[in-house]
A and B are shown apart, each in its own frame.
Chain A
């Protein structure tokens, strides 16, 4: 199917909006746009980070998901207590596949669920005593933990428990960092505020711990990888490239990361931000307080990787710049082979994306390296600054949708007829039943890593095996197939 023109795309948006009641239509219209590369600022065409409409199917999460699920959860040597009823912790346990090295239950706790399991009496009488008891128990059962974080669920804010006081007391008793995080699910319009709250908690309770302590030997090449959650091993695939070019990665935030790494981050020379949406706050804080510059980088697909490696190297001396060139040259044969193998199979295929706060723009380069085209993209919880950065990455007259509703997404797909959709698990089966190949792009559909050169090879293979899977030809029932294919079946029988 040919690409839609600007007028057709605009008409499509109007058509989709038609079914809403007037008020909802007016509101949703602000969140849907046709990309115009000539715009410098996204706020001219799209509104983002607003409360979702009641009555529609939104795909967003909550502040607790942003803090426990994204930022704090992957810190492997701390125990993160899901403070409140049992469900929030249990249903978010290990779903993001943040890989780590260690012995679970002994010195790492990433895939375990710790919860205060609130009952009626805890709501009525308060849960502070229970929380204090839990922390003593944790110390007894898991003495090798390096700290505890308290991730608040909704009731904590509603009943007004003073978790900060409990944390301070526990901190004195167990002599390890105890971090209270006020990430109750009702705060904010999406998980995005949870990221911000989590960043602020790190700023207030962790970052200063080693101020004035100069015992950590630094080098001029120290960097921290910030906003890489090691999904399916992403951070490892990124880290090897940085180390090969001569940098020393002091900390990983927060995939496969430790609390000690976080405490040492203020000693680095440069912060490298992958997920801008969830961790730019702490990078900006470190820039102001410790004068550490930060840059955004993108490790999806060889074009963007080379661009990023050179951008990072430009901030260091010649040895690092030579190192970057060496790394790019070293992997060239590898990624050229990947492109040579998969590009002919994927060339010209059209993709629609709808992911969280970073990938809707970051993976575009990787698809383009494979000759594919992204014809629609949008964020669950992106802000204006994310859309600012997206406009230039996307082609003219492509669709952009913010906090898209289930209905809108389906209608867009029916009309645009993409060859592949990349979105979350809640969308996966709907679109597969519509007969459209789908990749779950939050945790890489149980695959990964997708970052770095190693990841690109896996990314290309996964896209090919999804898109060119023979099963898609079997989705249509025989009596709805057109004549020609029936004849073909008869001939081959």
Chain B
């Protein structure tokens, strides 16, 4: 359950940052990304997958959220 710092980059894409792992990746896709629902499975550009408990509104980025690691992508 890593703490993930999420922010939007200049291209309005979601950037994933896990301080302890020096992981800085752009999110390729997010399962739910609408104004009334956000979260679910997130696929990163290095192939790894994380899961966020769906929220019922868009979070105010940047924000730190807990994520579950689903697949390392190796």
Contact = CB atoms under 8 A, between A and B. Distances in A.
Given A284-B5, A287-B7, A383 B62 contact: no
Interface string A28-41: 00000000000001
Interface string A362-390: 00000000000000000000011100100
SS of A interface (majority): helix
A49 interface: yes
Q: Is the interface of B mostly helix, strand, loop or mixed?
A: strand
B22 A385 contact: yes
A383 B7 CA distance: 20
Interface residues of A, number: 12
Interface string A264-306: 0000000000000000010010011001000000000000000
B64 A384 contact: no
A49 B21 CA distance: 10
Contacts of B5: 284, 288
Interface string B23-40: 110000000000000000
B22 A384 contact: yes
Given A41-B46, A287-B7, A288-B5, A49 B22 contact: yes
Contacts of A49: 22
Contacts of B24: 385, 388
A380 to B, nearest CB: 16
Using C-beta atoms within 8 Å of the partner chain, give the interface range for chain B: 10 to 19
B17 A284 contact: yes
A383 B19 CA distance: 11
Contact of B64 (A288, A291, A388): A288
B63 A288 contact: yes
B63 A383 contact: no
Contacts of B62: 284, 287-288, 291
Contacts of A287: 7, 62
Nearest to B46: A41
Nearest to B20: A196
Nearest to B5: A284
Given A284-B17, A287-B7, A383 B64 contact: no
Given A288-B64, A383-B22, 17 more contacts: A41-B46, A49-B22, A196-B19, A281-B19, A284-B5, A284-B17, A284-B19, A287-B7, A287-B62, A288-B5, A288-B63, A291-B62, A384-B22, A384-B23, A385-B22, A385-B24, A388-B24
Interface of B: 5, 7, 17, 19, 22-24, 46, 62-64
In order of increasing CB-CB distance, the 3 nearest A-B pairs are A383-B22, A384-B22, A288-B62
